[in-house]
Structure 1
Amino acid sequence: MNDVLRVEDLHVSYRRAGGRVPAVRGVDLALPAGGRLGLAGESGCGKSTLAAAVLRLLPKSATVTGRVLLEGEDVQEMGWGRLRAVRWARASIVFQGAMHSLNPVRRVGDQIAEPILLHEKTTRAEADRRVAKLLDQVGLVAARAAAYPHELSGGQRQRVMIAMALACSPRLIVADEPTTALDVMIQAQILRLIGELVAEHGISLLMISHDLAVLAEHCDRLAVMYAGRIAEEGPAGQVFADARHPYGRALAGAFPRIGDPASRRGPRGLPGDPPDPAQLPEGCAFAPRCPIAVDACREAEPALIAAGGDGERMAACIRMDALRGAS
């Protein structure tokens, strides 16, 4: 099997007072060795739940069915010892809030060294040399290893998180909104850094963001998620430039394009919000917000089907022809 990550018919629901609420509903994804897959969608569409499921980081209130395969091994069937060995060493994660992810009372160098000492049983001196090299790779001087998280800027803390993710040379990195709290200039630097490092080390990347433009620039393939399901998937540039699902079209249209005065003066938005997972509408979950929905859209939930002759595009929409006509 050449895929570093395969997600097969994944369902995740959370226990609430009124019963179980679905967050991820039948998702299938594949990420090959060295590939870069972007996962886009608004807040509440299930992206972070899917990311947490990859490394089995979900709370006890979550129920998971389906399979999450890391190099062919099902994460859901791993014992705790095996799971602990897999985290950081084979797959690691970069969270969106570094200040909340780093231990505020430990120096950042110690936190980067911890997975090295745990997984590789090396000496502290060798771990410290590795920490210095990792900090250099992410653009920080070795002396910053002695700093506490509050002594670093937001961009520096995020670089520390990336160094931690690389510490044990994993096969997969999951980046969950890695630049949300950063300003635009620092965002660009961090995204460029992640791209360069995963390419240099041959690491597979699952990057999650609400920003379709960012994912289109930094990923090979792009999956658009809505109401817990994949609405569209395909080559990143094609999905961004010519979405085959009205939700993907709306996300792409929300970003003004450089050199296009019309999009800058009147960017297209998307009214309303994603549906409450506890009260999903009948049929297509996007139908209440869709400008081209018809009665048939509200009768049955559409399946993810081929959306292009090359077999590289998939979309869950029965109105694809009408969407092309509306371009």
Structure 2
Amino acid sequence: MTLLEVRNLRVTYPGGVAAVRGVDLSLAAGQKIGVAGESGCGKSTLALALLRLLPPDTRVTGEILLNGEDVLTMRWGRVRAVRWAGASIVFQGAMHSLNPVHRVGDQIAEPVLLHQKATAAQARVRVGELLEQAGLPASRATAYPHELSGGQRQRVMIAMALACSPQLIIADEPTTALDVMIQAQILSLLQRLVTDQGLGLIMISHDLAVLADICDRLVVMYAGRVIEEGPARAVHENALHPYGKALSASFPHLGDPASRFAPRGLAGDPPDPSELPSGCAFHPRCPEALAGCATDDQPLRDAGQGRRAACVHVPAPTVGTATEDTQGRAAPAGDTRSAP
């Protein structure tokens, strides 16, 4: 069952700054999708747009269908309910998201009291259950944010996100500020919660290796567009787009001395959304660019096996070979659909 369907989503900030340009995304219940890319590629803007958390003067067009209901056309009262009961978000940097003068238990209880109309006693019981689900003892409900470690605060944020039993969790780089061991624990917790409760998960990160470990599918964004998508492990280990290759190669691979001593990076930065280059937005940094890349933008091309990439070098799938659709299911042989 399709939980979330994003169709031709475009987000433009005041001044004509195109932060998201025609993104399509589909997520089934129980599925985990990773969204990767450098800072400035539109990942967080995409996440905020899904729950209408962008500034009011931002122009958002397209469709965001959550269980078939368009978030962009909902009344504000309905949006408030959906933000907790339908989908919730876990931000990076929990210390900036939690109120420092309120106990964490009270902050978790607030959406339970407001949206589930629970009594104070029922809310206290629910807070204890949520903290234990997130790997913390119920007694930590009386703590203030500054009394908790970074990993514990992030667990509080996850408990808060689960408060009203949402069907979708959006995690926007939830482990960026954590050390490696705590990061692994938080990622394992998210993975277990999604599996046990059948939730949908959109995980945003710049680290392809992390996403490949926990996600079913991987979406790579650049300059506000999806430029590659497919099974997470395949995209990480054998990216089709030069940008995906550069992202994967920028991290050293364990057991590979060549990558450990000489990791390959990518010169330059993503383009300013207000001054996008002509043609393929990646061509000024692309080591494989052709002359036509400077003038001709590339649509997502079906590459078979559930993979698509927006690059002139992407080969067409072999005719007669079974492919997979964007959900990873087997599609009829010879299916060569292209992106709209």
| TM-score normalised according to structure 1 size | 0.95
Indicate yes or no: 2:145 matched with 1:149. yes
Of 85, 89, 96, 1:89 maps to 85
Indicate yes or no: 2:151 matched with 1:139. no
Output the CA distance in 1 between the equivalents of 2:270 and 2:57: 22
Give the AA of the match of 1:227: A
Which position in structure 2 is the counterpart of 1:258? 254
Question: Could you say what the CA RMSD is over the residues aligned between the two structures, in angstroms?
Answer: 0.8
Which position in structure 1 is the counterpart of 2:307? 313
| TM-score normalised according to structure 2 size | 0.91
Residue 88 of structure 1 aligns to a residue whose secondary structure is: helix
Of 33, 36, 53, 1:37 maps to 33
Of 154, 158, 163, 1:162 maps to 158
Output the CA distance in 1 between the equivalents of 2:12 and 2:124: 42
Which position in structure 2 is the counterpart of 1:325? none
Output the CA distance in 2 between the equivalents of 1:91 and 1:239: 27
CA drift of 1:59 comes to: 0.6
Kept in 1: contact 2:3–2:66 (CA 8 A): yes
Output the CA distance in 1 between the equivalents of 2:165 and 2:301: 36
Output the CA distance in 2 between the equivalents of 1:110 and 1:317: 50
Which position in structure 1 is the counterpart of 2:188? 192
Kept in 1: contact 2:301–2:314 (CA 8 A): no
CA drift of 1:75 comes to: 0.4
Which position in structure 2 is the counterpart of 1:269? 265
Q: How does 1:64-213 map to 2 (within 5 A)?
A: 64-213=60-209
Deviations 1:15-48 (A, max 9, x none): 0xxx211000000000011100000000000000
Deviations 1:143-195 (A, max 9, x none): 11011111111111000000001111110000000001111111111111111
Residue 205 of structure 1 aligns to a residue whose secondary structure is: strand
Output the CA distance in 2 between the equivalents of 1:307 and 1:251: 20
Output the CA distance in 2 between the equivalents of 1:175 and 1:136: 19
CA drift of 1:118 comes to: 1.2
Kept in 2: contact 1:91–1:170 (CA 8 A): yes
CA drift of 1:141 comes to: 1.3
Indicate yes or no: 2:296 matched with 1:297. no
In the alignment, structure 2 segments of 5+ residues that lack a partner are: 316-340
CA drift of 1:320 comes to: 2.6
Output the CA distance in 1 between the equivalents of 2:97 and 2:69: 27
Output the CA distance in 2 between the equivalents of 1:61 and 1:267: 42
**For this pair of structures, how many residues does the alignment match?**
315
Give the AA of the match of 2:13: Y
Of 283, 286, 290, 1:287 maps to 283
